[in-house]
Amino acid sequence: MNSKETVDVFPEPEEVDFTRFCRQEQDDSLTFLPNLLATYLAVYFDPIRFVGDGFMLFRDGVWDYMSSEGPLHNICVRALNNEARVDWIDDAILELEDLVYEEPPPGPLASTEGKIIIKPIITEDELLLLIRSLSSNTKRELARLLSPFLR
């Protein structure tokens, strides 16, 4: 799937029902699951990486550090709407760090105007081959996990 297709089917934060980031308990209460919001953030900002000292976004052909976590907080608040809580957002961002963590490459990195350039670790074709090699059960589980974020 190319980024154009992703944009066409991926919902904006205001279109997401915050309950998609929760688990319904037996007593009908909701438990927030930060890993679900972290997954939404990873797809929303794709490609995004956490390299130990900050988040990096791939824009205009180069990896560049996010100036702050402000954009992440903003998307979280918009997706959670009136249910946004600081601890939920902080927990989701910590989950995102683990989800998109990547060891910085050893040695000096190429840069353009202070922007770090990191080659992708997997091509789109390699990813498609990997997905095709998954078992049917794993594919179903992957589809179930991603379904709240697709129309």
Q: Residues near 101 by Cβ (< 8 Å), separated by ≥ 6?
A: 49, 50, 51, 52
96 pLDDT tier (thresholds 50, 70, 90)? very high
pLDDT at 89: 95
Higher pLDDT, 141 or 102: 102
144 pLDDT exceeds 80? Answer: no
Q: What is the mean pLDDT of residues 1-25?
A: 76
DSSP character string of 34-99: HHHHHHHHHHHT-SEEE-SSSEEEEETTEEEE-S-SHHHHHHHHHHHGGG--HHHHHHHHHHHHHH
49 pLDDT exceeds 80? Answer: yes
pLDDT at 117: 54
Closest CA to 15 of 77, 79, 72: 79
Task: Give the span between the Cα atoms of 98 and 10, in whole angstroms.
Answer: 22
The mean of the pLDDT values for the chain is: 80
pLDDT at 122: 67
Higher pLDDT, 36 or 114: 36
Which of helix, strand or coil describes residue 31?
strand
Which of helix, strand or coil describes residue 20?
helix
The H or E element spanning position 32 is strand 30-32
Q: What is the mean pLDDT of residues 104-115?
A: 50
Task: Give the span between the Cα atoms of 49 and 143, in whole angstroms.
Answer: 22
Task: Give the span between the Cα atoms of 45 and 79, in whole angstroms.
Answer: 14
66 pLDDT exceeds 60? Answer: yes
